[in-house]
Structure 1
Amino acid sequence: MKKIILSATAFIMLFSCQNEETESTAPSTNSIVQRGCASHEVLEAQLKADPTLALRMNEIEAFTQKAMLTNRLVNGKVEIPVVVNVLYRTAAQNISLAQIQSQIDVLNQDFNATNSDYNSVPALFSGVKANVGITFVLQSVVRKSTNTTSWSTNNAMKKSAKGIAPTTPTTVLNMWSCNMGGGILGYAQFPGGAPSTDGIVIDDNAFGNIGTASAPFDLGRTATHEVGHWMNLRHIWGDANCGSDLVSDTPTHNTANYGAPAYPHYSTCTGTPVEMTMNYMDYTDDAGMYMFSNGQKSRMAVIFVSGGARAGFGI
């Protein structure tokens, strides 16, 4: 397992020196075969548009590291109100309340270690698998008919002109269900971004585990992955070859894993560790991801304590 030592300068570079990627606005289909999360690309665009964001995120990271060292953690006393914003052009995209509730149920299972596959975690990682202990409650559903065929990652779905503006984002998790396009299943805004664009976006074909949810992303794990970002988790490979996810108890991954990798899957990084491919912050299919680590739990908990980036949700 790895140590996390990060200076302020290195942290800013971590979020400002990746290669830019262009967004796709091609219509999506039900045939996406590899997970596509645009959270990192959205972050890169936000960092470019707002140079002060890197400084705010650096302050959040410094607070996170200090809080974890001093055990200033919430310990499972956080309940997250959720508003789901549904943007639809077709009747199928106007997903049902039952499908929406299925997603809330999946989040509660995955963040409280009651998911049926939790006990499938290999013995190698059983000592670090975590019950995060955060719950989610559906507060309301907002629906809007639209002529937009597919949405990109420019946050247009979060603006009232064409989409739905977020509801009190400092105290409510806003989720948007819409037809993303471009092979993207979803994306999230990391802590530190503007409240007007805060929340997570999920393609309607990956929302919940019934209705329009389409295999292999039909178990609701796209939202689990994106909520992880919203709670300050990085991709497990650190969005770089053998990069850092800023968590000490996850193995170093050389890159993203797709599909359903056979266990054990060895990293090509120093020490060739067995990769934690079943972690929610990898890119495997929904059926292939079913755990957070204790280090990730601590990192998520910190943002809800007094002075944390999402303290409005905490105790």
Structure 2
Amino acid sequence: MKKLSMLLCMVALLLTSCTRNEKQADATAVQPKVTEDEPQGRRCAAMDVLNEQLKADPALAGRMAAIENLTARVQKDKSLLRLQADGSILIPVVVNVLYRTTAQNVSAAQIQSQIDVLNADYNALNSDYSSVPALFSPVKASVGVHFVLKSVVRQSTTKTSWSTNDAMKKSAQGGINPTTPDSVLNIWVVGAMSGGVIGYAQFPGGASATDGVVIAYNCFGNTGAAASPFNLGRTATHEVGHWLNLRHIWGDATCGTDYVDDTPFHNAANYGCPSYPHYSTCSGTPVEQTMNYMDYTDDACMYMFTAGQKTRMLATFVSGGGRTLFAQ
């Protein structure tokens, strides 16, 4: 089990270890070439982006450390959550669509399908929730937050590929500026991203001007242009988890920590659909929770959050947690 004492060393380790650990995790599986039309290997760039943000903004480490200290207090005293735990938090969503082709200009139905998936996955209403193995059934959880589509902003572009430098979030760089990001979740739906990335998110504590989630158009929602194996809307579920301060389940290191006590240690990221039980070689050889939304498995093979992850996410809505205005 992860120890809360590890929280305080997180920020100090980020600058020196995250890039190395991401590469170490990715090296455990052979990654097929990802094309614009056929996403194959899940590749989330949230930690890469965080690394760059920490280098560019010296104050970010301090803000994130304060959020982690608060989260640690909430994990020890869940009464601090108060109203956050009653399932009443409503998250307005603005979807910003940047398209070059007709397929990339995702339909209203595809957009709504993604909102529906988020509501199902974050409230344990997904049909595969019942597939959680008995071993993990005692810790599976409904997070109890809800999402509602506020508006859709569309803009055509000539870009054939986007990088993770947040250009899609800036009108001066051909993107779309976020809509009131302090109280609205902005999701940018884009065409192909460089390096085979299919999505990334900004963690709480980052700059308001770049806050939100980015997702490739063919990994968004569960209809329309959504393409297998990421055609069930779980890329957004995973990235919104980061936006609510969840880390990858393997902790972006071999047998690393995600700062949650009820998720088992993982060797590294898992891809595809691992057979259950999939044992870790970490201390105690635990069964890995490959069906957790914060792993790298295919959409059809991830379908649960844990109670500890729920607490960590709800802590972001407590004053000082980075998402406070969403709980007003």
TM-score tier by shorter-chain length is over 0.9
User: Cα offset for 1:13?
Assistant: 2.2
- The alignment status of 1:174 with 2:186, answered yes or no, reads yes
- The alignment status of 1:6 with 2:22, answered yes or no, reads no
Aligned to 1:55: 62
Aligned to 1:163: 175
Distance 2:143 2:136 in 1: 15
- The alignment status of 1:87 with 2:98, answered yes or no, reads yes
Distance 1:248 1:44 in 2: 24
Q: Is the 8 A contact 2:192 2:216 kept in 1?
A: yes
SS at match of 1:229: helix
Aligned to 1:205: 218
Q: Is the 8 A contact 2:7 2:72 kept in 1?
A: no
Q: What aligned pairs does 1:1-315 form with structure 2 within 5 A after superposition? A: 1-6=1-6, 8=8, 10-18=9-17, 19=19, 28-71=35-78, 72-73=80-81, 74-75=84-85, 76-161=87-172, 162-181=174-193, 182-315=195-328
TM normalised by structure 1 equals 0.96
SS at match of 2:5: coil
User: Cα offset for 1:52?
Assistant: 1.4
User: Cα offset for 1:33?
Assistant: 1.6
User: Cα offset for 1:7?
Assistant: 5.6
Moved over 6 A (4+): none
Q: Percent identity?
A: 64
Show structure 1 runs of 5+ residues with no match: none
Distance 2:91 2:113 in 1: 16
The one-letter code matched in structure 1 to 2:213 is I
Q: Is the 8 A contact 1:205 1:212 kept in 2?
A: yes
Aligned-residue RMSD, C-alpha: 1.5
CA 1:79–1:193: 2 relative to 1, 3 Å: same
Q: Is the 8 A contact 2:67 2:320 kept in 1?
A: no
Distance 1:94 1:27 in 2: 20
Distance 1:80 1:35 in 2: 26
User: Cα offset for 1:110?
Assistant: 0.1
Distance 1:14 1:252 in 2: 18
CA 1:28–1:132: 2 relative to 1, 3 Å: same
Q: Is the 8 A contact 1:27 1:150 kept in 2?
A: no
Q: Is the 8 A contact 2:250 2:266 kept in 1?
A: yes
Distance 1:114 1:296 in 2: 17
User: Cα offset for 1:68?
Assistant: 2.3
Deviations along 1:105-150, one digit per CA (max 9) or x if unpaired, are: 0000000000000000000000000010000000000000111111
Which range moves more in the overlay, 62-71 or 223-232?
62-71
Distance 1:298 1:180 in 2: 34
SS at match of 1:17: helix
User: Cα offset for 1:28?
Assistant: 4.0
More helix by share: 2
Distance 2:135 2:317 in 1: 30
Query: Paired residues, what number?
Result: 311
User: Cα offset for 1:308?
Assistant: 2.1
User: Cα offset for 1:151?
Assistant: 0.5
The one-letter code matched in structure 2 to 1:13 is A
Q: Is the 8 A contact 1:304 1:310 kept in 2?
A: yes
CA 1:92–1:4: 2 relative to 1, 3 Å: same
SS at match of 1:277: coil
Q: Is the 8 A contact 1:180 1:202 kept in 2?
A: no
SS at match of 1:14: helix
SS at match of 1:256: coil
Distance 1:61 1:261 in 2: 32
Which range moves more in the overlay, 140-149 or 301-310?
301-310
Distance 1:164 1:242 in 2: 38
Distance 2:204 2:293 in 1: 18
